[in-house]
Amino acid sequence: MANKIQAIRGMHDILPPQIYLWQHVETAIRTLMHCYDYQELRLPIVETTELFKRSIGEVTDIVEKEMYSFSDRNGDGLTLRPEGTASCVRAAIEHGLLDTPRRFWYQGPMFRHERPQRGRYRQFHQLGIEVFGLPGPDIELELILLITRLWHNLGLKQLELQINTLGNPDERANYRNVLVTYLQQNYTKLDVDSQRRLQQNPLRILDSKNPELQDILTKAPILLEYIGPKSLEHLEQLKINLSACNINYTINPRLVRGLDYYTHTVFEWVNNNLGTQGTVCAGGRYDNLVEQLGGRPTTAIGLAMGIERIVAMLIDHNHVINANQLDIYFITASNTAQTQAFIISEQIRDKIPQIRIQVHCGGGSFKSQFKKADRNQARYAMILGDDELTRKVVGIKSLRDQNQQIEVSFLDLINWLQTHIMSQPPSNL
């Protein structure tokens, strides 16, 4: 085995048993989206680099140093999508989907060239939800209720909902100036990172985890004080709605999203047990992006959820998914018997499509075949030896209780299976 090839950094295979958690999460999402009448979109994984530059913002970390960009054969600049909103907006404009309010969702891999860490990968998976044409706090309430229900359905607790508003672009720009002036007065007290961000994205400084900065930051001007009455009224209405629906939340005046396009309401669910990558779901309103990307002015709001982080939380909660167990493991004594077992199995599948049967392959003694049956957690072993074959019966042995092994004739088999297997729920192991 000459130098073996391994998966590239930060990109992971998802295998059993974890795959069952993924399927569980994906099913929960699909069901919920269906119930709230959101429509699924399948979007390309590769887009023009220009799309992300124009939507996420030229001076963000994502665009500056985290994108997987390359030249297509004809020289076009392409990029593996680092997030989904841009693609979704592009598609909505391109296909004329913005004539009326629309609710969309999508799911799939995203790519960012960051240093991998638990809960942060170079290929990771997101659920994205985007709603177009609804400007009010009502749709914000709906999204929060929807996600809250998802947590409930997945059995996830200890998620804290944080909310803030960034106001409209004018208010935000105004605040930005005030903040920059304040921070410049304290320039020497800032750390190197924050000094750099002062030029590029000063709002992010508010998010700094450096304890030495906390004093300066708590005394910094507060965004909410520079927000106009209309924007404040928007936030107030959302707060009233949330309280009416018994949703707990905290207002976090320092909550600033990393992407340039956000306006007004932003929110995020944080889990403190996940280490530093605690944000599990985050989103906000982006009322100007559609126009920015060449569409007619259309309000929009969206959110993104990190599937890896959800799965990590489920694992932390010791959430075990029982893969449905195998109903029948078919054991045979000879090639002739095995062929007959395949024929019988197909007849069973014709009549009972949902049944799970595996015909033993690979030979071996009865003993080793029974061992396999047991390790595959089958409920029943079905035995077809030469003796049974001539008498046209199969032996059936329950592997999960002490019931005696019985014989059932080929003719009665379907009937027997329907009454004994499909009518009884599998016992949990």
Partner RNA sequence: GUGGCUGUAGCUCAGUUUGGUAGAGCACUGGAUUGUGGCUCCGGUGGUCGUGGGUUCGAGUCCCAUCAGUCACCCCA
Enumerate residues 98-137 that contact RNA by CB under 7 A. Answer: 112, 114-121, 124, 126
Binding to RNA by residue 428, rule CB under 7 A?
A: no
Choose, by CB under 7 A, the member of 188, 272, 365, 424 that binds RNA. Answer: 365
Cα torsion 423, 387, 370, 328 to 10°: value is: -20
What residues does 69 pair with on adjacent strands? 79
Please count the residues of this chain forming the interface with RNA, following the rule CB under 7 A.
72
Tokens of 29: 């999402």
Q: Which is nearer to RNA, 100 or 404 (CB)?
A: 404
Binding to RNA by residue 300, rule CB under 7 A?
A: no
Q: Which is nearer to RNA, 238 or 282 (CB)?
A: 282
Q: Rounded CA gap, 267 and 283, in Å?
A: 6
At its nearest, how many Å lie between RNA and the CB of residue 16? 12
In sequence order, what are the residues at sequence separation of 6 or more whose Cβ sits closer than 8 angstroms to the Cβ of residue 13?
7
The order of strands in the sheet holding 393-398 is 357-359, 328-332, 380-384, 393-398, 406-409
At its nearest, how many Å lie between RNA and the CB of residue 81? 12
Q: Rounded CA gap, 55 and 294, in Å?
A: 11
Q: Are residues 165 and 231 in contact, defined by beta-carbon separation less than 8 angstroms?
A: yes
| Angle of CA points 43, 49, 52, to nearest 5° | 70
The order of strands in the sheet holding 39-40 is 39-40, 102-111, 123-132, 300-306, 279-285, 263-270, 160-165, 250-251
Binding to RNA by residue 388, rule CB under 7 A?
A: yes
Choose, by CB under 7 A, the member of 170, 387, 412, 422 that binds RNA. Answer: 387
At its nearest, how many Å lie between RNA and the CB of residue 258? 2
In sequence order, what are the residues at sequence separation of 6 or more whose Cβ sits closer than 8 angstroms to the Cβ of residue 79?
46, 47, 48, 49, 51, 52, 67, 68, 69, 70
Q: Which of residues 333-362 bind RNA (CB under 7 A)?
A: 333
At its nearest, how many Å lie between RNA and the CB of residue 106? 13
Side chain identity at residue 56, one-letter code: I
Choose, by CB under 7 A, the member of 13, 375, 404, 429 that binds RNA. Answer: 375
Tokens of 424: 């009884």
Q: Which of residues 216-255 bind RNA (CB under 7 A)?
A: none
Binding to RNA by residue 308, rule CB under 7 A?
A: yes
Q: Which of residues 60-89 bind RNA (CB under 7 A)?
A: 60-62, 66, 83
Among the candidate windows 206-214, 231-239, 246-254, 348-356, which touches RNA by CB under 7 A? Answer: 206-214
Q: Which of residues 16-35 bind RNA (CB under 7 A)?
A: none
Binding to RNA by residue 276, rule CB under 7 A?
A: yes
* CA distance to 33, 150, 159, per residue, from 242 (Å): 21, 16, 16
HSE-CB at 407 with a 13 A cutoff on CA atoms is: 9
Q: Which is nearer to RNA, 182 or 366 (CB)?
A: 366
Among the candidate windows 94-102, 233-241, 245-253, 400-408, which touches RNA by CB under 7 A? Answer: 400-408
Binding to RNA by residue 327, rule CB under 7 A?
A: no
Binding to RNA by residue 9, rule CB under 7 A?
A: yes
Q: Rounded CA gap, 402 and 423, in Å?
A: 19
Cα torsion 183, 188, 189, 194 to 10°: value is: 60
Binding to RNA by residue 179, rule CB under 7 A?
A: no
Q: Which is nearer to RNA, 139 or 381 (CB)?
A: 381
Binding to RNA by residue 144, rule CB under 7 A?
A: no
Choose, by CB under 7 A, the member of 40, 76, 99, 193 that binds RNA. Answer: 193
Choose, by CB under 7 A, the member of 279, 292, 345, 418 that binds RNA. Answer: 279
Q: Which is nearer to RNA, 325 or 345 (CB)?
A: 325
